[in-house]
Structure 1
Amino acid sequence: MEKFYIITNELKDPGLETTRFVQEYLQKRGKICVVREKQDETVPHSYKYTDASLVPEDVDCILVLGGDGTLLQASRDLVERELPMLGVNLGTLGYLAEIDKSGIRPALDRLIEDQYNIGRRMMIKGVAIHKNKQIMSDIALNDIVIGRYGRLRVIDFNIYVNQEFLNSYSADGVIISTPTGSTGYSLSAGGPIVSPEASLIMITPIAPHTLNTRSIVLPDDAEITIEVGAGHSTPQEGAEASFDGDSTVRLECGDQIVVTKSERYARMVKINQVSFLEVLRKKMSEQ
């Protein structure tokens, strides 16, 4: 790799100390390294978004400094480019980021020496439908979450798989997640942990109001439709769908979110020879 582009969450790298170290380290070894400049001065110390058109065409790798949230955002912003990304975790708990701050130097050396692999991560696409018309379409690397909008209350959700009715949930919400997202919100809601190299889709209810409701694992070619029911309140309150905790769309009673596997993939650089099970064991022991 010869040309790099750095995206940094400035909340986790105040003063860009680590960012500048990475840039100078690469430049001293004859590589080209461009640092993403601020694009939203109203939020001076965080990562808001990256304009894909500003990333040079000949970039070989995106270095994402921050945490899992920063890497998720970067993957969505640059999904059309399908550039390989290396995540550097500057936060506390991270499953997505490949290395921690202490491992930056050896990781950069391996990139320079072309000692790495690139893995693909499945993404999902969600289409919001209101009165038989599409009102929004977006993708997610982790999950699409449909939850209540407004005050605390229970919502009824009707679940269809390949246009066949599956089940109804009375719950606070429903999570549709990828294998990568299995260690995110889905895990907190009691969903299974899945290897990120797998290709499948999971449905996990959030705080279901029944004792026998469980997560459901489906093949990656399934079409999942979540229909918002009336719930136990006024139908005007509705619900809200969130894509990787970022973009959102309001939903009313009867609206649907149709989720399928995306044609796009996130490409992640793998430096370490550490298995997913070893990473999982380490993260679980840190809890």
Structure 2
Amino acid sequence: MQGFLFLLFFIAIVAAIVYGCIYVTKKRRQDLELVARQLKMDFYPKGDDSIAPMLSNLEFFMYGERCRVSNLIRGQVKSNGQLISVAIFDYRYTICKRRSTEFSVDENSVSISSNEENDTFCQTVLVFYDESIDVPGFSLRPEHLWDKLANFAGYEDINFDRFPAFSKGYRLLSNQVDDVRNLFQPNLIKFYETNKICTEAIGPYLLVYPFPPKYTNSSLTMGDKTFTTSQYLQPKEVKPYFDLGLKLLSLLEKNMSAVRQ
């Protein structure tokens, strides 16, 4: 009898957890659909293949397996007289840290087993497409202690002597160093010192997403890439990040004149 009651209790706990997950997922979807209406954009709870061309041009989306897009907010907005395409969505992906295959042989057969070590990451990202600009490619994220080791391996980031706080706080990488140095005028550096956001940009494409939590143990460094667990934006946070993305686009467009000189 006691064992039966324990089983019922266990089933009740599992059911409560499952119900809680379903409720939270449904509530988030409903709240983000409301945000989409406020932004006068379309909402696709399971994503939409139409954003594939936008994602294929950004290096951020070239890593990982079992990638999943959900709660997609998609539309266009006018900024500085230009029509800009926007995609805001929850992104979940898995990085395989290590794969191994083991063979065991007995008298009658050979057995093969495979093992994987995976980390799963999830975050809300915002992608902007503005065909009026052609930004030199760069990526920007928080700088970590282990980046010092990456510098010794040849992945040295771009620093600015006049802005030590920015240089210490961010890791800025690019294959177009001179152009990116010209792009990062004081107005853009001060923007990043005030607003803690990660960025990748190339040509007309701009990707922004929030800083990872301040204290996190889940991170993975592969070459010059660091994958750090972030978090989904709360629905009320989407609009402020959307506005930051538009402001950043405006600064990039303004600073392109220094790049062209």
Normalised to the residue count of structure 1, the TM-score between the two structures is: 0.23
Higher-helix-fraction structure = 2
Normalised to the residue count of structure 2, the TM-score between the two structures is: 0.24
